[in-house]
Amino acid sequence: MIAKFTDPREQALRTLGNLPPFSPILNRLLATLANEDVSFGKLSDLIEKDPVMAGNMLRLVNSALYARRGTINSVRHAVALLGINKLRNAVLGMSISRMWKNLKTPPDWSSARFNLHSVAVAVLSDLLAQRLPVVYPEGAFVSGLFHDLGRLLIAVGLPEAHQEICRLYQQGSRTLLDCEEEVLGLTHPQLSAEALAIWNLPEPIRTAVAQHHNPPPKTGEFQLAHLLEAANHYINHSGVTIATFTSVADTPYPEKLEALGLAEAMPALLEDFKVEYESLAGFFK
């Protein structure tokens, strides 16, 4: 069906221009995804210049996630304890959450639900990438964090289309992707991937986001899209969803997580997820 809205892709992506530019900290950390060397000293200096971020880093490293004896009160010590991957994930998530707050969203859109769903999928995807042979494991958290960015862009940049998509979806017989395709002629995974291309994020992350509802058949190592799909299904099944309504056509299958082959490791994985998610969730509400 022909889309009902003129240039929906351009209208939705224009929303990115309403966001403030990435901070120096965020730019440095994103550079690590491209295998660029970034020193802990320089990162510590940048974080110390941002009182909110510095406070959040200290709060995180003193949380139950790390459960260390004694209080850590030095940003440099916190950065060293977190390590580059955990630091990048935490700062990226916190920075993006702050950016979202500048967007005017429709009345039926919950930024808190969106943030919590995104970070939950990000944390679980990252934990899976630590346990499975996957191409580009360092991109798992970022892929999870941004997998549904297109849904936000539609809600903010195309509010009338968002309402129409919700109306069709609540009839209960079609998937969200089908409703988006009917109304806009494109889907939120496509928009998410195109937004990440504008931000110059690495190709494996963009591909995973684009394919997270329909990953390719597995041959050899897992692709990020396989982990992202399984994490997304599990998190939706657990009730940490963006919308309060789920069509029967989009019934989540937590079994997709088990199908990754981590049967014996699953209890420990889910316990790690619970601790890490609960430690981070307070920053994203």
Tens-digit pLDDT profile for the chain (285 aa)? 445 656 899 999 998 888 877 888 888 888 877 767 778 888 888 889 888 889 989 988 888 777 666 788 899 988 888 888 888 888 888 888 878 877 889 999 999 999 999 999 999 999 999 999 999 999 999 999 999 999 999 999 999 999 999 999 999 899 999 999 999 999 999 999 999 999 989 999 999 999 999 999 988 899 999 999 999 999 999 999 999 999 999 999 999 999 999 988 999 999 999 989 988 888 877
Are residues 58 and 24 located together in one domain of the fold? yes
Same-domain pairing of 227 and 253: yes
Q: Please, which residues have CB within 8 angstroms of residue 153's CB and are 6 or more apart in sequence? A: 12, 13, 15, 16, 188, 191, 192, 195
- 0.85 cut: is pTM over it? yes
Residues 109 and 95 in one domain: no
Based on the domain organization, do 218 and 198 belong to the same domain? yes
Please state at what angle helix 24-32 crosses helix 40-48, rounded to 10 degrees. 160
Q: Are residues 41 and 109 in the same domain?
A: no
Q: What CATH code is carried by the domain that includes residue 9?
A: 1.10.3210.10
Domain boundary among 58, 86, 102: 102
State the sign of the Cα–Cα–Cα–Cα dihedral 111, 108, 213, 230: positive
Whether residues 34 and 170 fall in one domain: no
At 42, phi and psi to the nearest 5? -65, -40
- Token readout for 67 is 């459960």
Domain boundary among 86, 102, 118: 102
Q: Among residues 137, 275, 251, which one has the least CA distance to residue 202?
A: 137
- Cα separation, 126 vs 67, in Å, equals 20
241 sits in the region (left: phi over 0; alpha: psi -120 to 50; else beta) called beta
Same domain, 78 and 177: no
Q: 116 Cβ partners below 8 Å, 6+ apart?
A: 240, 281, 284, 285
Same domain, 92 and 139: no
Beta partners for residue 222, in sequence order: 134
Burial (CB < 10 A; 0-12, 13-18, 19+), residue 232, is: buried
Q: Using an 8 Å Cβ cutoff, are 83 and 121 in contact?
A: no
Q: Is the Cα torsion angle 107, 108, 113, 114 positive or negative in sign? A: negative
Domain that includes residue 41, residue range: 20-102
The total domain count for the chain is 2
Are 238 and 283 within one domain?
yes
Q: Cα–Cα distance between 212 and 201 in angstroms, integer?
A: 16
Residues 94 and 62 in one domain: yes
| Pair (108, 95) in one structural domain | no
Claim to verify: residue 83 and residue 125 sit in the same structural domain:
no
Strand partners, 134: 222
Q: Name which of 9, 1, 25, 8 is nearest 195 in CA terms.
A: 9
